[in-house]
Amino acid sequence: MKGTVLHGAHDVRFEDREDPRIEKPTDAVIRIALSCVCGSDLWSYRGIQKIDQPVAMGHEYCGVVEEVGSAVKSVKPGQFVVGSFFASDNTCAHCRLGYQSSCQHREFFGSAQAPFLRVPLADGTLVPTPGIPTESSIPSLLASSDVLGTGWFAAEAAEVKPGKTVVVVGDGAVGLLAVLSARQMKAERIITMSRHQTRQTLAREFGATDIVTERGDEGVARIKELTKGVGADSVLECVGTQESMMQAIKSTRPGGHVSYVGVPHNMTLNGEQLFFSHIHLHGGPAPVRRYLPKLIEMVWTEKIQPGKVFDLELPLDQVAEGYRAMDERRAIKALLRP
Amino acid sequence: MKGTVLHGAHDVRFEDREDPRIEKPTDAVIRIALSCVCGSDLWSYRGIQKIDQPVAMGHEYCGVVEEVGSAVKSVKPGQFVVGSFFASDNTCAHCRLGYQSSCQHREFFGSAQAPFLRVPLADGTLVPTPGIPTESSIPSLLASSDVLGTGWFAAEAAEVKPGKTVVVVGDGAVGLLAVLSARQMKAERIITMSRHQTRQTLAREFGATDIVTERGDEGVARIKELTKGVGADSVLECVGTQESMMQAIKSTRPGGHVSYVGVPHNMTLNGEQLFFSHIHLHGGPAPVRRYLPKLIEMVWTEKIQPGKVFDLELPLDQVAEGYRAMDERRAIKALLRP
């Protein structure tokens, strides 16, 4: 088959790769219904995260099970499934406590921008949908496999609750779906930091009550103004830079909660500053697997439509254009159809 | 009157100072029953935290109200009171949410190693005891004003709950009282990191179930061993150094909670490392005022005896020896009697 491989900065190729096959009895191979480009793929695409050798790309997927290994019990060929970017056994101590993305046997696998995918630990990783989904719901199921689950974790980790004032830093797909998640958790006020018209509109549609266009210390001052000098209860940092993290911390009231869900790049936190900020801090790679059954159910019953973050659709062989469009912020998120 | 003044590293003097008096209508002046030396006083005593000019010392106190300003309503002369090291109005948005040590009008005041003390924002800051305490209970009431309240916050901030495995990093008075707090919160297992015989004994008396003498990465390995490779649920960092913080973070399971309650000195946290640790982090200056009514009640009914951390008693004019004894770790905590 052909699949997506990153050879270096700005060098994405759709080229011949070996067909995925069952390698261990716990594997499954699935036929990808839809895949997409992730904001986190851009770190290596832009050369900020160095790669030593060509890397197969893609970690968001849903599709139909083609084949399973002999030990797989919970999914079978023909089922439509959604999984997360970390394979997890869902039985170890960390998984049982809801941190499947820190599973003691976790495997990261990134080769989903392709027509077929090998999924390790299939029993723990994959969640079947109630049936074969309609064509129009597949993008929303795909969103559940990463960006929605990550936005949902951002909201939970920042203790979003009814009546609270929430700030979302970052207007990428994760930030936008963090807005949707905060709305589902019945936040009273949801302030999105965004300067981009299309993203502002989608944020409003997902439930944002206020938009702040200022950044850095000016953004912080604006949040203080909007909260009568107190600061926000919950701030969801969905970018991963030093600036966005400091903006998040400074926007939060003492005793409030900051979550962070994008891999931090060149970020250091000063202990004393953090101490006197008096905030709660929680984040890390989102344990999407914990939320998948619930998120699939919400998509299935049309309670939410997270698939709206896809504003560009391309045939898989044009994947390089997907990267370019997201890099240039022409697209929020690019859908890839095999 | 004479009071305690730090003139520079290792230079503590008991010398003439102005008598405290009512300066604002919201002030009270109290006659100190007992004061003490705090582990945090040692940062400036040791010259690690620089001082520009002579500094009056002492921020732990209890005693009898001598005089109140015209606006003070909730305490009156003759009452025995306990207060915290940050004066707080107890009415602002931060106070109402339980973060009195980030009160919008907070004042730090450090001149309690003296016979008399001016307390700002007396209505918000001071909590009267149910009556005049017995002589033997006064050290425990004094402990409530900082070290017990701080240990209690450490336990709450790390979400200590029944059934959990707790690690306490630091065997100073705060660490020891964090053990006592974790016991009150019904932790199943409480592991104290300590190499010091006297402190180990007191930790056991306060409720520690295990003692670990290793430090740094060896200490982490020992905690992993004791928790079957999983890590602890709650780790209470009661020191404030880079090493103790890293030890705390690495000892915690993914999804577990780290609290930190000592002012961090030269501590920086790497964003990526923190991210993949998957921990919750919360700390800051303990909002002791939040807990004072409860802690006073527990001392009053003899449910707890936090005053046991005082293992050296000196007349106030020998305060310099109190600093020396704690600096040399000959004493856990020095009581000062005016």
Taking CB atoms and an 8 Å cutoff, what residues of chain A touch B93?
228, 230, 253
- Coil, strand or helix at A4: strand
**A1 in Cβ contact with A17 (< 8 Å):** yes
Q: Is B284 on the interface with A (CB under 8 A)?
A: yes
Q: Is B267 on the interface with A (CB under 8 A)?
A: yes
**B267 in Cβ contact with B241 (< 8 Å):** yes
Q: How confident is the model at residue A77 (pLDDT cuts 50, 70, 90)?
A: very high
Q: Under CATH, what is the fold of the domain B2-146+287-337? A: Quinone Oxidoreductase; Chain A, domain 1 (3.90.180)
Residue B334: CB atoms within 10 Å:
24
**A191 in Cβ contact with A226 (< 8 Å):** yes
B198-204 mean pLDDT: 97
Q: Is A279 on the interface with B (CB under 8 A)?
A: yes
Taking CB atoms and an 8 Å cutoff, what residues of chain B touch A267?
270-272
- Per-position DSSP letters for B271-311, written without gaps between them: HHHHHHHT-EEEESS--HHHHHHHHHHHHHTTS--GGGG--
Q: Is B269 on the interface with A (CB under 8 A)?
A: yes
B302-328 mean pLDDT: 97
Q: How confident is the model at residue B98 (pLDDT cuts 50, 70, 90)?
A: very high
From chain A residues 79-108, the ones with a CB under 8 A of any chain B CB are: 93-94, 97-99, 101-102, 104
Contacts of B51 (CB under 8 A, 6+ apart): B6, B8, B44
Taking CB atoms and an 8 Å cutoff, what residues of chain A touch B275?
260, 263-264, 283-285
Residue B54: CB atoms within 10 Å:
14
Nearest CA in chain B to A103: B254
CATH for the stretch B150-283: 3.40.50.720
Query: Which of B303, B290, B308, B309 lies closest to B149 in space, CA to CA?
Result: B290
B122-126 mean pLDDT: 98
pLDDT tens digits along A138-190: 999 999 999 999 999 999 999 999 999 999 999 999 999 999 999 999 999 99
- For residue A70 the two structure tokens come to 């002999």
Nearest CA in chain A to B241: A271
From chain A residues 203-262, the ones with a CB under 8 A of any chain B CB are: 228-230, 242, 245, 253-255, 260
pLDDT tens digits along A200-223: 999 999 999 999 999 999 999 999
The pLDDT of residue A110: 82
The pLDDT of residue A305: 98
- For residue A266 the two structure tokens come to 């060149």
Residue A268: CB atoms within 10 Å:
15
B271–A264 C-beta distance less than 8 A: yes
Is the pLDDT at A108 greater than 90, yes or no? no
ipTM of the complex: 0.96
The strand pairing partners of A108, in sequence order, are A86
CA-to-CA dists, residue B311 to A281, B207, B314, B326, angstroms: 36, 18, 10, 10
The pLDDT of residue B109: 80
- For residue A21 the two structure tokens come to 């096959």
**B37 in Cβ contact with B329 (< 8 Å):** no
Region of B278 on the Ramachandran plot (φ > 0 left; ψ -120 to 50 alpha; else beta): left
Query: Which of A122, A31, A117 lies closest to A68 in space, CA to CA?
Result: A122
A280–B282 C-beta distance less than 8 A: yes
How many residues are present in chain A?
338
Q: Which of B99, B264, B271 sits opposite A255 (nearest CB)?
A: B99
Nearest CA in chain A to B252: A94
**B62 in Cβ contact with B80 (< 8 Å):** yes
pLDDT tens digits along A121-131: 999 999 999 99
- For residue A34 the two structure tokens come to 């839809």
- For residue B145 the two structure tokens come to 């004003």
pLDDT tens digits along A231-280: 999 999 999 999 999 999 999 999 999 999 999 989 999 999 999 999 99
- Coil, strand or helix at A282: strand
Residue B251 dihedral angles phi and psi, to the nearest 5°: -85, -5
The pLDDT of residue A172: 95
Taking CB atoms and an 8 Å cutoff, what residues of chain B touch A263?
272, 275
Report d(CA B247, CA A153) in Å as an integer.
26
Nearest CA in chain B to A230: B93
The pLDDT of residue A123: 98
Nearest CA in chain B to A261: B275
Report d(CA B9, CA B131) in Å as an integer.
40
Which of B50, B108, B276, B291 would you mutate first to test chain A, the one with the most A CBs within 10 A?
A: B276
B263–A272 C-beta distance less than 8 A: yes
**A191 in Cβ contact with A223 (< 8 Å):** yes
**A119 in Cβ contact with A87 (< 8 Å):** yes
The pLDDT of residue B247: 97
Query: Which of A295, A287, A288, A315 lies closest to A113 in space, CA to CA?
Result: A315
What are the contacts of A295-298 at 24+ separation with CB within 8 A?
A295/A144, A295/A148, A295/A149, A295/A152, A296/A82, A296/A127, A296/A129, A296/A130, A296/A141, A296/A144, A298/A184
Report d(CA A92, CA A115) in Å as an integer.
31
B155-160 mean pLDDT: 98
pLDDT tens digits along B181-195: 999 999 999 999 999
Nearest CA in chain A to B270: A268
The pLDDT of residue A194: 96
Report d(CA B81, CA B86) in Å as an integer.
15
Where in chain A are the domains? 2-146+287-337, 150-283
Query: Which of B266, B261, B238 lies closest to B48 in space, CA to CA?
Result: B266
Taking CB atoms and an 8 Å cutoff, what residues of chain B touch A99?
253-255, 278
pLDDT tens digits along A271-329: 999 999 999 999 999 999 999 999 999 999 999 999 999 999 999 999 999 999 999 99
Report d(CA B315, CA B335) in Å as an integer.
8
Is the pLDDT at B108 greater than 90, yes or no? no
Report d(CA A74, CA B239) in Å as an integer.
48
pLDDT tens digits along B18-39: 999 999 999 999 999 999 999 9
Query: Which of B191, B106, B296, B61 lies closest to A278 in space, CA to CA?
Result: B106
Q: Is B283 on the interface with A (CB under 8 A)?
A: yes
- For residue A1 the two structure tokens come to 């088959």
B272–A265 C-beta distance less than 8 A: yes
Residue A233: its H or E element: strand A232-237
Instruction: Give, to the nearest 10 degrees, the angle between helix B288-300 and helix B147-157.
Output: 110
- Coil, strand or helix at A146: coil
The pLDDT of residue A136: 97
pTM of the predicted model as reported, rounded to 2 decimal places: 0.96
Residue A312: CB atoms within 10 Å:
17
Nearest CA in chain B to A245: B271
- Per cent of chain B over pLDDT 70 is 100
Task: Tell me how far the alpha carbon of residue A251 is from its chain's centroid.
Answer: 23
Q: Which of A230, A253, A271 sits opposite B269 (nearest CB)?
A: A271
